[in-house]
Amino acid sequence: MISNICALNRTAIILLAFGSFSVSCQNAEQLAFTQYRVQGERLYQQHCSNCHQPKGKGLARLYPPVAPSDYLRNNFEKIICGMKFGMEGEIIVNGVMYNQRMPGVAALTDMEVAQIATYIYFLDSGNKKRITTTEVSAILGRCP
Ligand code: HEC
């Protein structure tokens, strides 16, 4: 009987500990998301807003919008690669055709690409999930 109570208590303690652990993990991730979003916005204004405009609305038929953009939502890897290595060829964004070369920003680090990506996906659809540097490094390693 006594050993049964102990076993129960142990389970309760483990559950409690696990509960608070996952809560603090969630907060840390929320904080990391906010840091990436804020840094990403700064980098976007520096490297991308000349063409895509400060709020991501694009410019006429020359530069496509990034917010909102159906192309953005459906071509995650192409966009990660494009930021660093450039992009060219015909693309359709929200039903409008664009075909002009976009220069890449070769100097961006993997983390900076992840921060800009976190920001533009947030800007496009309110996505509150951080795009991690690990994820981005893996994609950049296999760009065409
Ligand atoms: C010199 C102007 C210029 C700059 C600077 C630039 N882009 Fe682009 N971007 C373009 C053009 C032009 C296209 C269309 C490419 C094509 O026709 O294939 C494009 C396409 C895109 C697309 C895919 C289409 C869409 O709108 O969803 C994304 C996303 C994008 N750019 C994001 C960025 C980001 C992020 C940066 C900054 C790191 C950036 N661009 C910097 C001109 C630019």
- Domain of 89: which CATH number? 1.10.760.10
Q: Is the peptide bond between 65 and the residue preceding it cis, with omega within 30 degrees of 0?
A: no
The count of other CB atoms within 10 Å of the CB of residue 86 is: 13
Does residue 116 or residue 21 have the better pLDDT? 116
Task: Tell me which residues have their CB closer than 6 angstroms to ligand 1.
Answer: 47-48, 50-52, 63-66, 69, 71-72, 79, 82-83, 87-89, 91, 93, 98-100, 102-103, 105, 116, 120
**Nearest protein Cα to ligand 1, atom 19:** 102
Domain span at residue 93 reads 2-140
Residues 137 and 113: beta-carbon distance below 8 Å: no
How close is the Cα of 63 to the center of ligand 1, in Å?
A: 7
**What pTM, to 2 d.p., does this model score?**
0.88
Residues 91 and 64: beta-carbon distance below 8 Å: yes
How close is the Cα of 29 to the center of ligand 1, in Å?
A: 28
Share above pLDDT 90 across residues of the chain, in percent, rounded to a whole number: 82
pLDDT in tens, 45-102: 999 999 999 999 999 999 999 999 999 999 999 999 999 999 999 999 999 999 999 9
* Packing angle, helices 110-125 and 76-85, rounded to 10: 130
Q: How many domains does the chain have?
A: 1
* SS3 per-residue string spanning the chain: CHHHHHHHHHHHHHHHHHHHHHHHHHHHHHHHHHHHHHHHHHHHHHHCHHHHCCCCCCECCCECCCCCCHHHHHCHHHHHHHHHHCECCCEEECCEEECCCECCCCCCCHHHHHHHHHHHHHHHHCCCCCCCHHHHHHHHCCCC
How close is the Cα of 52 to the center of ligand 1, in Å?
A: 7
**Nearest protein Cα to ligand 1, atom 43:** 102
Which structure tokens are listed for 134? 């690990």
Q: Strand pairing partners for 143?
A: none
Angle at 49 between CA 46 and CA 50, to 5 degrees: 95
